[in-house]
Chains A and B, each alone.
Chain A
């Protein structure tokens, strides 16, 4: 890491120091976090250490410049987004590696949400009783 990059990272830290963001910056971040917690608390043998290892890998894989974007000032929202993207990547990897889901079905389902064929309304309580 160059000195310049280190200075950038330090600047990001200092910028964020005084900020307080005790809740989620975006709904999808809350969803990803809660999914993981529920899998852990209620799922059958969710291996937190395995999840953590994949989160460490995802953090490692993130280029340092992602934290200090050249195209704008770092913000809390940006830092949170990076963090929860790493979180999602770790969760996906774990679920795929443990054969809970397949990459194909995940890609297909994500495509349906992206296309608007499915919406978050399917998560609303009491909606569409025939869905489990």
Chain B
């Protein structure tokens, strides 16, 4: 397939080294400006892809719109947070979750898709953090879209090389003898961290607990116990 790598993409990727499009370009690149030639080019290519796939009957517009709206509105870290809250309140579920997450997650009403999920538990002695060194694989069905920093070369490379330094930049300070495990989602497996349940939450319901769980805690760049006690408790 001699054509596969060359067709029409080089101009977009190489646009910092010289614009082959012949467009006028009196301003900066790619900052979302509607009149930016680079922006127009990529937009046209994506539309062309969709148009061709629709024409061939491979995808439907309804399905695409549904995916867009569900990722923009419905799927956020809330799915993951519900899973974490249940694991905190139901030890049998937690055991199943850590043992075979795909099976345990089938109990929920959201779709996991064909991603394989593994869940890694944080304890006082062990801290887990998730990265994708090669690209940006992420457990979308549980956490929604990845934050921008997750996709940066610095996070991808430094998390493996110096996880403690990276964690410290996120405000996570670990004991020197704590074990740090870095899980690289470079295979078909997507990892999610099961954070430690914060102290002082014994009276919380599953729903209340879910509200405490943050996306960053499930990526492993935040420890929930390290913050102030929830105000709900202080008020009581």
On A, residues with C-beta under 8 Å from B are 9-10, 12-14, 16-17, 19-28, 30-35, 37-44, 48-49, 52, 55-56, 59, 61-67, 69, 71-72, 75-81, 83-86, 88-89, 91-93, 95-97, 100-101, 103, 105-107, 109-114, 118, 120, 122-125, 131-132
Contacts and interface: CB of A to CB of B under 8 A. Distances in A.
B39 interface: yes
Nearest to B215: A22
A26 B47 contact: no
A33 B51 contact: no
Contact of A83 (B31, B50, B136): B136
A42 B16 contact: no
A28 B46 contact: yes
Given A10-B158, A13-B152, A62-B13, A31 B63 contact: no
A9 B154 contact: yes
B73 to A, nearest CB: 9
Given A76-B148, A96-B1, A100-B56, A110 B44 contact: yes
20 contacts: A12-B153, A14-B169, A17-B170, A28-B43, A31-B47, A39-B59, A40-B114, A41-B114, A48-B114, A71-B29, A72-B31, A75-B31, A85-B13, A91-B49, A92-B49, A114-B41, A118-B51, A123-B64, A125-B62, A132-B54
B40 A123 contact: no
Contacts, number: 223
A88 B67 contact: no
Given A55-B135, A103-B7, A106-B7, A35 B64 contact: yes
B7 A107 contact: yes
Interface string B151-166: 1111100100000000
A92 B9 contact: yes
B88 to A, nearest CB: 24
A123 B61 contact: yes
Nearest to A91: B49
Contact of A12 (B9, B54, B55, B154): B154
A120 B47 contact: yes
B4 interface: yes
A105 B23 CA distance: 22
Given A12-B154, A106-B49, A107-B7, 20 more contacts: A9-B153, A12-B153, A16-B149, A25-B32, A26-B32, A32-B46, A32-B49, A40-B114, A43-B58, A43-B59, A44-B58, A52-B137, A59-B134, A71-B28, A78-B30, A97-B4, A105-B52, A109-B48, A123-B61, A125-B62
B126 interface: no
Nearest to A17: B149
A132 B64 CA distance: 14
